[in-house]
Amino acid sequence: MMKSGWFDDAVKCSALLVGSCVAGNAIGAGFSLNEISAGAAGTAYAGRAANPEDASVMAANPAGIAFLDQMQFTVGGGLILPHEKYTHGEGSDSIGGDVQNSSVKGDFVSAQGVPFGFFSMPLDEPLYFGLGFYVPYAAMTEYGDDFVGRYLALNTELVTLNLQPTLSWKFNDSFAVGFGLVVSYLDGELTQRKGSATIKDSKSKMTGHDWGYGWNAGLLWHVNEATSIGLAYTSKINYTVDGDLKLRGSLLNEESDGHLKLILPEKWEFSATHKLDTRWTLLAGAVWTRWSRFDEIKAIADDGLTGGGVIPPIPPGGVASYTPENWKDVWAWSVGASYRYSNEWLLRAGYGYDTSPVKSAWRTARIPDIDRQWLTLGASYQPVPDYTIDLAYGHMFSKNVKVDEREYVWDNATGEVARGGGHYKANYKISANVLVMSLTHRL
């Protein structure tokens, strides 16, 4: 297990603080978060890689800061108000027995917040520098201890914090390229019950953290005075999440160092903006994400576990928990428009469609993801030249889906996977409202 020093502990503390206020069922597809720009949120993130309004553009396209002529910082956050319920739940334990006298309906997420902060400044022409802090991925679902599906999931907490130093090179007044180094910290926790609901069981809990490193790069081209095009790439990030695997119950109390490997995916983003006149601008965007990299969750017990008769013994280095995910690559699309109402006010609206990477047959209680449709409204208010306040509201339309999840068990002797006794099914209804606000100060 990775030993942490004071710096790791400080960052872990920050991750826990952020983790206490990040999205439950993440607002982007899968467990990605888009809440890194209040201005872009107003147009459902359409055109964000081609529209450098403030320093937050570096998270989407690092080339964009080359078109910010003044030193400036942008700070803000999003408030996510989910409405996510499950009903008609049924479940069985690890040996296939029915789970009785348990919660078969309820909520599993609550209102959450997502912070972000960015800084940019010109260096010697034609070089520009930026630094960003944001949360690109998070998942947080919390079912009660009496949840009928507790033998497959209880709590899921995953949060990544990205720190991104950025450089951009402006070739001329119409073209720039940029590069960002992404330093990412991941902190997570997974819990569930193991064993029999009527004889003996235990609570399985894995916690861990890791540092990962990646990069993003992009170009931004003002084709003419009316049209701009942005293209950006964000790399994958590999994590080996080291931590502790614990089994706690009335007849069992043991733990092991453990780890699991996780890859957060690469993505391409294309954006375009076009000014119709001095007031109206149209925006469009498309994002491709390689979510097929998220194919399984496999927790390894480095020291092994005896199981205490609750679960089969796990040898050192054996698989303690296995969940197939089998996600697919997806596209997200968005269109929007902005209207210059006055020198002080800019109004925005947008529509977005995010395709879920989760195949219906593999939807789980931990991440009951759906295709998402959004309508957004936003506004910028600039009372004086050095300050801009951005505010956006988005509504994700409700959708009903089913979860029909089965337990899978890894045979450490043969390396084969078979179905276990655990089973959970329920109906889910998912929708959300989001508010995003930021302040930009130019120095």
Q: Answer left, alpha or beta for residue 101, where phi above 0 means left and psi between -120 and 50 means alpha.
A: left
4: pLDDT strictly greater than 60: no
194: pLDDT strictly greater than 90: no
pLDDT at residue 202, rounded to an integer: 86
Q: How confident is the model at residue 23 (pLDDT cuts 50, 70, 90)?
A: very low
Q: Is the peptide bond before 385 cis (omega within 30 degrees of 0)?
A: no
pLDDT at residue 10, rounded to an integer: 42
pLDDT at residue 252, rounded to an integer: 76
366: pLDDT strictly greater than 60: yes
340: pLDDT strictly greater than 60: yes
DSSP 8-state secondary structure symbol assigned to residue 8: H
> Picking from 90-99, 167-176, 302-311, which range would have the lowest pLDDT averaged per residue?
302-311
Q: How confident is the model at residue 28 (pLDDT cuts 50, 70, 90)?
A: low
Whole-structure pTM over 0.75, yes or no?
yes
CB-CB contact of 206 with 258 (8 Å): yes
**35-to-16, 221, 350, 355 alpha-carbon distances in Å:** 18, 25, 15, 17
Q: What's the whole-number average pLDDT of the chain?
A: 91
List the beta bridge partners of residue 438: 76, 390
For 302-312, what is each residue's pLDDT tens digit?
A: 999 887 766 78
Q: How confident is the model at residue 27 (pLDDT cuts 50, 70, 90)?
A: low
Q: Answer left, alpha or beta for residue 300, where phi above 0 means left and psi between -120 and 50 means alpha.
A: beta
350 or 109: which carries more pLDDT confidence? Answer: 350
49 vs 271: CA distance, rounded Å? 5
For 372-400, what is each residue's pLDDT tens digit?
A: 999 999 999 999 999 999 999 999 998 89
- CB neighbour list of residue 34: distance below 8 Å, 6 or more residues apart: 27, 28, 41, 45
- CB neighbour list of residue 121: distance below 8 Å, 6 or more residues apart: 71, 72, 128, 129, 130
| Interval 307-328 mean pLDDT | 87
12: pLDDT strictly greater than 70: no
pLDDT at residue 382, rounded to an integer: 97
| Interval 40-50 mean pLDDT | 97
pLDDT at residue 7, rounded to an integer: 41
268: pLDDT strictly greater than 90: yes
pLDDT at residue 19, rounded to an integer: 43
> Picking from 11-15, 48-52, 135-139, which range would have the lowest pLDDT averaged per residue?
11-15
254 or 165: which carries more pLDDT confidence? Answer: 165
Question: If you average pLDDT over each of 58-72, 95-109, 302-316, which comes out highest?
Answer: 58-72
